[in-house]
Each structure stands twice: as C-alpha cells, then as structure tokens.
Amino acid sequence: MAISKIPSAGFQDNVKFRNIIINGDMSIAQRSTSEINVSTGYRTCDRWRISRGAGQITMSQATDAPTGSGFVKSLKFLEASSGANPGASDVNLITQRIEGQNLQYLLKGTSSAKSLTLSFWIKASVTGTYIAHLTDDDNSRFISKAYTVSSANTWEYKTITFPPDTTGAFANDNGRSLDVELYFGAGSNFTSGTLNTTWNSYTAANQAVGQVNALASANDYVQFTGVQLEAGEVASDFEFLPVDVNLQRCQRYYYLHVSGSQDVGVGGYYISSQIFFNITFPNTMRAVPTVVYVSGTNYYKISRNGATDNFNDIAGGGVASLNEINLYNNSQVSGTAGHAGYVRSNNASASIALNSEL
C-alpha cells in the first residue's frame, strides 16, 4: 500500500540502529556499481543478494531516488533482453540475510514476540501486485505480504507490518536466521497456492502468489531504496547513518582491500620461490573470510632490494582469523629468502577482497 507521507530527511536524533537492514539506502557498493546479465549472488550494492531465475538483468547502483526523501542512490534491475519469463522454478528477487544474534531482542518464539514493520521506496515500469517475504531460516517458517505498485515510473513509499511469531526462536549466533526478500518475478512453483500471510511452515507454492512479472518486456525495470525493517507496528523515518558507519557495517561481510593499482601491504620471501603477505581487516568480519581476487599476467608485484618481482595470482590463503589473513604466492616469484618488500596490485583490473557473507 502506498502512503502520501514522505519521511523526513537527515540524520535521526539518538541513533540506536533500529533498522535491522544494513545499507538500506543503497549508498555502499564495494563490488561494483553496475553489472550486466547478472547471475545469482552478491553483485553491486553491499548486503543485497539477487536471485536471478529469468531474463538478462542489468543490476546497478542508480543515482535516481525519490525527490525530497534524503536518498541519493537506489538499486535498479533493468531487463536488457526481450523480457524475463520465469519458468516454474524461477524467481527474481533481492534478499538481505540477517544474523540471529542481531535479532534476539525481537523475542521470536516467545509469548512476547514483536511485530516487524518493513518500509521502503519502489519505482517500477510495471504496475500490479508485488510480494514482500520474510523467512525464518532457523525454523523453516515464513510469511508473505502483498502490496501494490499503483503508478508506473513513479516512486512510491510502502509500509508492511508482519505479525509476531510465537513459534521458533532465532539462534543466538552469527549464522543466517532471517531473510528479507522483495520479489519482482516468480514461477508457478511459488505462485500456485494461497498466499501465506501469517507465520507458517514453509510451503513454496504459497510464497509469492499474485506476484506480477516486473521485467516482462525489454527495458522494464524495478528499483528500491530506503529499505528499513524495525520492531513494532509503525514505520518510523528512515535511519540515515554516516557513510563511515554504514561502510563499517558492510565490511563485516565483505571487505574490498584493493581495486586497481594500489598498495597491498608488506611481504617477504619465506624461501626464494615463495612470498607471504598479510592483510589486516579494518573491522572484525562475521566469520573467517574467503579470498576473492582477480588474476592476470603481472597483475601483482613485490618490490624489494632494488628489484621487482611480478606474479599473476594469489595461490591461496594461509592462516586466517576474523581480523587478518596471510596470503602467498609460491609458483611465480624468485628472490632471496629473508628479503622483504612492498606488495602492490599492478593492473587496473586487479582486486583483492575478503568475503564472509551469509
């Protein structure tokens, strides 16, 4: 449902991180600001995962946002082919996955469980019924709510309240407990039942009943911004955070250490054919991360003792923790054991990142 009130812009007084969603204003995009023909996964704006089942979708951090709202970015999905026609098992949606230890105050699974209110802005070329969906991953429970996009190519503000669930507590750990999903396409496996508007055991057919195909034709699009999930039955003004705070929260899940030609850190030759170098993270990560890097001929180098040794890739991760990781190359370098130097990425396409997404 659309409402006429435009939430006020600006930083909120006494910020308490009431918004469970991270990067709901779509302002942080460490990986990329645009990708064409995306596949399922984390692609552009931080913390937002696309499930792409049909179409050739361009996903981008757009500069279009609702006027007078305080937002300057949005997450956009554009159909670049003749149209996305979901098969029976296909879904097109975005998800934010949330740690259980961040949800304990909701008291889910108790008689004191709290309601949740989801609010966001949406702009789409196709009007009709859309679905917002919550999944309790710890207990295989879910709930869906329908809302309507009334005017094409127009920013509309939506609020949806989900009732409390007195069954099934969220695990108090760093694992995936709650998925917040916004659909823009779904196949018959997810639309052939009766929309489940109360918390219940998972049934796929009841998940997205009525969902319009938002990307049915070439150049159809849908975009979101200002996504907020909070305890209670009323949507409050969006909780704008300083960019450094927002970035730090995103870096718990994904940290881009270098992109392009940049210093990586200090390294050294353990033996003549092997170098090691450490990366220390600016924030503690959710879990021990995996290394994500782009390789290529002479993409990296170590400069030491008046000489430079080029190498193509990172052979793997050594000792790792929530705060640092030791990386190495043991097949493309040749130097003197004990020599130290500066490791640097050496190509505009080179990058090293650490990933601990849910």
Give the tens place of pLDDT for each residue, 164-186.
999 999 999 999 999 999 999 99
Residue 14 lies in a domain: no
Number of domains in the chain: 2
Mean pLDDT for all residues in the chain: 95
pLDDT band at 16 (very low <50, low <70, confident <90, very high): confident
pLDDT band at 315 (very low <50, low <70, confident <90, very high): confident
Residue 61 lies in a domain: yes
Does 326 share its domain with 225?
no
CA distance 304 to 209: 62
Of 236, 251, 266, the last residue of a domain is 251
The pLDDT of residue 317 is 65
Q: For residue 341, what is the domain's CATH number?
A: 2.60.40
Residue 193 lies in a domain: yes
Q: Buried b vs exposed e over 279-307: b needs ≥16 C-beta within 10 Å? A: bebeeebbeebebebeeeeebbbbebeee
> What is the DSSP code (8-state) at residue 208?
S
Asked whether the beta carbons of 17 and 248 are under 8 A apart, the reply is no
Amino acid found at 20: I
pLDDT over 60 at 285, yes or no: yes
Distance of CA 213 to the CA centre of its chain: 22
The pLDDT of residue 3 is 41
pLDDT over 50 at 12, yes or no: no
Does 266 share its domain with 124?
no
The answer to whether the pTM exceeds 0.75 is yes
Does 276 share its domain with 241?
no
The pLDDT of residue 105 is 98
Residue entry with tokens 């005017």: 151
Q: Which residues contact 15 (CB under 8 A, 6 or more apart)?
A: 239, 241
The pLDDT of residue 50 is 98
Does 52 share its domain with 171?
yes
pLDDT digits (tens, 9 = 90+) for 53-89: 999 999 999 999 999 999 999 999 999 999 999 999 9
Rg (CA), the chain: 23
Stretch 32-54: mean pLDDT, rounded? 98
Structure tokens at 85: 């026609």
Structural domain span for residue 329:
254-355
The pLDDT of residue 132 is 99
Residue 28 lies in a domain: no
